Amino acid sequence: MSKKSKFIKLLLITFLTTGFLNSCFKEDLTDCPRPFQITIKALDIDKNDITETGEVKNAVLFVFNQQNELIKAFELNEAQVKGRHPINIEIDYPGYESLFFVAWGNVDDSFEHSNISTVRNLLDLYVRLKKVGGFAEPPGDFFRGNVTIPLEYGGTEPGKPHVVEINRMTSGVTITAKYLKEWNENLEGTYSFVLRETLDMYDPNGNLSGSAVNYLPRSSFAQNGDLSAPIFYTFPTDDGSPFQLDILYNGEVIYSVDRDTGGTLFIPVIGRTLNILIDFSAQISIQAVITPWNVVYQYVEQ
């Protein structure tokens, strides 16, 4: 066999193994996975559709095969999320029964997270809290969701459209301490809150994992003398355990509590706001009130 014949034979084998066998038989469309579209839908804790509210500023959609290998990643901006921009999914070769989609919303610089360009496998996905000075930085308003979609075969016309729903994965917290300085003998110095504790990471399957971390929220005295930490976000506590709130004076704990006067534990609720109010006037009174997302409880002094 001449060198030219050998070369032509090699090209033919290459075409058969890399092109022909891995693509649709045009004469037999039963081997063709049908393309389809998928959109991202954002939900609040009550399952209300909030896609068009602008609460999700960006999104990433990862597509994995049945071996958990990444096929494609898509990034969407706020306008595309609000506009329910459809993402076209085209698989040009047979063999998969289904695809697994993972969607993130509002992943920004407030987190450490997988570098989208280097993700190769489902196990590469993570979202972790940043730490500063040994404390977790309050995260952003993180959303996540996933769905498994069976592939349709038998043609090149579009198949059934699909939706991946993303849900809030963080909790809101606000803290107010009234008459704290008077209770502490009007001592001047640095007062602060420390909230203990949550795990610091969401794993590839959206489960809490990682290491225990505490939060040092930004706080200040208002004109009325209240020490307040405006709404900040946290990951939920592990297994529904309560937060412990420490109040510090010049770095030393002067008061600790994990429940209100009626015995209600400081348990954060995903997608809602935990309001902690401590009144140090006369007999100490504590309230723990759950309100809707980003809604601050209006304390009325008796």
**Residues 220-259 pLDDT 10s:** 999 889 999 999 999 999 888 999 999 999 999 999 999 9
Distances in Å between the Cα of 71 and the Cα atoms of 52, 74, 93, 102 are 28, 10, 12, 12
Reply yes or no on whether the pLDDT at 27 is more than 60: no
The predicted structure's pLDDT at residue 21: 34
Identify the band that residue 67 occupies on the pLDDT scale cut at 50, 70 and 90.
very high
Query: Which tokens belong to 234?
Result: 């946290």
Reply yes or no on whether the pLDDT at 17 is more than 70: no
Reply yes or no on whether the pLDDT at 11 is more than 60: no
Non-local (6+) Cβ contacts of 11 within 8 A are none
| Mean pLDDT rounded to a whole number for the chain | 89
Query: What pTM was estimated for this model as a whole?
Result: 0.87
Non-local (6+) Cβ contacts of 265 within 8 A are 242, 258, 259, 288
The predicted structure's pLDDT at residue 30: 67
**Residues 88-145 pLDDT 10s:** 998 876 678 899 999 999 998 889 999 999 999 999 999 999 999 999 999 999 999 9
Non-local (6+) Cβ contacts of 258 within 8 A are 242, 243, 244, 245, 265, 266
**Contact between residue 225 and residue 178 where contact means Cβ atoms under 8 Å apart:** yes
Collapsing DSSP states into helix, strand and coil, what is residue 5? helix
CATH number of 171-292: 2.60.40.2630
**Contact between residue 170 and residue 233 where contact means Cβ atoms under 8 Å apart:** yes
Q: What is the mean pLDDT of residues 188-214?
A: 97
Does 25-106+141-168 match 171-292 in CATH topology?
yes
The predicted structure's pLDDT at residue 24: 58
Query: Which tokens belong to 50?
Result: 């909030």
The predicted structure's pLDDT at residue 239: 85
The predicted structure's pLDDT at residue 34: 87
**Residues 154-192 pLDDT 10s:** 877 888 999 999 999 999 999 999 999 999 999 999 999
What are the sequence ranges of the domains in the chain? 25-106+141-168, 171-292
User: b/e per residue, 19-54, with b = 16+ CB within 10 A?
Assistant: eeeeebeeeeeeebbbbbebbbbbbbeeeeebbeee
**Contact between residue 238 and residue 226 where contact means Cβ atoms under 8 Å apart:** no
Instruction: For Cα atoms 200, 204, 206, give the angle at the middle one, nearest 5 degrees.
Output: 65
**Contact between residue 93 and residue 23 where contact means Cβ atoms under 8 Å apart:** yes
Please give the CATH architecture assigned to the domain spanning 25-106+141-168: Sandwich (2.60)
Cα–Cα distance measured from residue 280 to residue 266, given in angstroms and rounded to the nearest whole number = 18
